[in-house]
Amino acid sequence: MTLTPKLQAALWRAYGDPAKPAEWDGHVYGGGKLSQRFWEYHQSIELLELTADSVVLDIGGGSPVTGAGFFTQVIAPHVKEVHVLDVNVGQAGEQEGNIRFHRMLGSYETMSQLLTGNTHITHIASVSVFEHIPHDVRCGMMRALNEHFHGDIFAGTVEFHTRERLFEHQLTTRTLSETFAPLTEFYPDRLVKSPVWAENAYSKSRSLGGRIVRRLKTLPEWEQRDPLVPLWYPLAFRFRKNPAGL
């Protein structure tokens, strides 16, 4: 039986609770409980379809402050086991309850090592991580997942812009396609755009063209404000293992 309702209720209780700090909880730029990042956690829980027997690999799910990151802390009490692949894990031992830490940078080699050594992993999650990983590295991680993951579901979120890379290793249409191209043993069955964007995902700009700017100046004073140009938005995805025989 799926844990989705129970986990989403647990997420609602935990989000914003000082006892369970999230690395980025929406309060930094505004938004709070129904912010962009809340949507990413909420959607990831829905897409993963976890049960009490699930063994989850949370890519990038560590925290230098709390050891286990926020998402891992929400799901761990309800599933069989959570593995965390993250070099930035602090204040935690080799294991914390049913949480297993793998203090390594993500790469083809480390993903292969982790998955071949833990063939009982049933689900893989990655919440807003790939936009912080160099493109060739994340492509290698997907090759390792394709070759060595024996579970059924890989789900998560990414920061996306159709054409431009506006920070770090942000995903675009081209790099998103290239990142997931190695997944020949899996197929995408969900791709969802967030209805809630981060407050810092906009830029005030008058670079939309002189005609538009001149037209703005003819509006009433209360409407004469710089147009907000969207910079990026979150996408959630789910890949499933190919049916037998394909």
| pLDDT for the residue numbered 222 | 47
Residue 229 falls in which region: left (phi positive, over 0), alpha (psi -120 to 50) or beta? beta
Is 70 a member of any domain? yes
Q: How confident is the model at residue 218 (pLDDT cuts 50, 70, 90)?
A: low
Q: How confident is the model at residue 91 (pLDDT cuts 50, 70, 90)?
A: low
Indicate the DSSP class of residue 199.
T
Bigger pLDDT: 35 vs 83: 83
Q: How confident is the model at residue 73 (pLDDT cuts 50, 70, 90)?
A: very high
Is 60 a member of any domain? yes
Signed CA dihedral, 7, 12, 13, 16: sign only: positive
| pLDDT for the residue numbered 92 | 58
Q: Which of 123-127, 197-201, 233-237 has the lowest mean pLDDT?
A: 197-201
Kind of pairing between the strands at 55-59 and 81-85: parallel
What span, in angstroms and rounded, lies between the C-alpha atoms of 236 and 127?
9
Is 206 a member of any domain? no
Share above pLDDT 90 across residues of the chain, in percent, rounded to a whole number? 62
What span, in angstroms and rounded, lies between the C-alpha atoms of 178 and 182?
8
The answer, yes or no, to whether residue 155 has pLDDT greater than 80, is yes
Give the model confidence (pLDDT) of 176-194 as tens digits. Answer: 999 999 999 999 999 999 9
The answer, yes or no, to whether residue 219 has pLDDT greater than 80, is no
The answer, yes or no, to whether residue 237 has pLDDT greater than 50, is yes
Name every residue whose Cβ is closer than 8 Å to that of residue 28 and which is 6 or more positions away in sequence.
200
The answer, yes or no, to whether residue 17 has pLDDT greater than 90, is no
| 115-144: average pLDDT | 97
H/E segment holding residue 160: strand 153-160
Read off the amino acid at residue 89. V
- Among 126, 127, 103, 124, smallest CA distance to 115 is for 124
Is 152 a member of any domain? yes
Number of domains in the chain: 1
Taking each helix axis as running N to C, give the angle between helix 135-148 and helix 173-180, from 0 to 180 degrees, rounded to the nearest 10: 30
| pLDDT for the residue numbered 231 | 80
Is 163 a member of any domain? yes
| 124-138: average pLDDT | 96
In CATH, what number is assigned to the domain containing residue 84? 3.40.50.150
Is 12 a member of any domain? yes
Q: How confident is the model at residue 76 (pLDDT cuts 50, 70, 90)?
A: very high
Range of the domain at 161: 4-201+231-241
The answer, yes or no, to whether residue 19 has pLDDT greater than 80, is no
Is 106 a member of any domain? yes
Is 76 a member of any domain? yes
Mean pLDDT score across all residues of the chain: 87
| pLDDT for the residue numbered 239 | 98
Bigger pLDDT: 72 vs 168: 72
| pLDDT for the residue numbered 161 | 86
